[in-house]
Amino acid sequence: MKLKAIAVIVAGTALSLGLAGPALASPASHAAKPAPQVTGSRLQSALLPASAFGDGFTVTQRLNTGSKLWSTKARIKPSSLSCQNFENYIFVGGFGNTAGAVDGIDNPNPDLADYPSVVLAGDETVLQFNTAKAAASFYSAAYTRYKQCSAFTDNDPVVDLTLELTTQSLSSTTINKNKAFQLIQYVDIAALPVANFYLNTAVVLSGTNVYTIDDLDGTNDPISASLLGSLVERVQALYKH
């Protein structure tokens, strides 16, 4: 059961699961050595396998920004998106990031006998920016938008459900010495009034990259720090070659 759609921004338009030719990369400044950069397809190759989320989990949606770096011109900002669109879509491009990749993870056979200890689905995303300052700016903007979207109704076109999301907690932390925050939201699903579910999200800022993992879970447990640390380490290893 997926709550989020994967999207890419091209010329200001959200294309759900749509691919389009990326813009040309901005010229590197001669004033400072540019940070190492890789393409979206390379970022995707370093994402965690679905099995990291649980036995039998599979990748059901996959998208990246392609084989070229994107322009650093931001076409959207977290503040410009409604709470529903900010929460409902995962954008791999358009925030001024030079590359991005996401895998949507699904648990095709959840054992509801283990409820509430059951994860239904999740996502893992990495956005690469050309500078650490740009990455930090996006990270701060995302935190602010999550804080503003503390309670809202989501008429979800992905699963054809009406959802009410309410923030239970939003806390800053560190993961592998990187700045991070954990968000836990209660998800009131109209079609499932007898079961409680939570959307648990963690965002990590590391160098020029911003990483996000979320899951739809029967418990309000924060995203595992080891899972996040493994994702960061796998992606960072790309820049050593």
- Give the chain's domain count: 1
User: Is residue 224 in a domain?
Assistant: yes
User: Is residue 206 in a domain?
Assistant: yes
User: Is residue 24 in a domain?
Assistant: no
Contact of 190 with 124, CB cutoff 8 Å: no
Omega of the bond prior to 110 within 30 degrees of 0, cis? Answer: no
Return the CATH number at 169.
3.40.1000.70
Angstrom distance (rounded) from CA 97 to CA 127: 6
Q: What is the pLDDT of residue 27?
A: 35
pLDDT by residue (tens digit) across 102-160? Answer: 999 999 999 888 889 999 999 999 999 999 999 999 999 999 999 999 999 887 655 56
User: Is residue 233 in a domain?
Assistant: yes
User: Is residue 7 in a domain?
Assistant: no
- For 112, the token pair is 């509801």
User: Is residue 96 in a domain?
Assistant: yes
User: Is residue 16 in a domain?
Assistant: no
- The gap from C-alpha 190 to its chain's centroid, in whole angstroms, comes to 25
Q: Is 141 helix (H, G, I), strand (E, B) or coil?
A: helix
User: Is residue 212 in a domain?
Assistant: yes
Domain boundaries, position 83: 36-240
pLDDT by residue (tens digit) across 157-185? Answer: 555 677 899 999 999 999 999 999 999 99
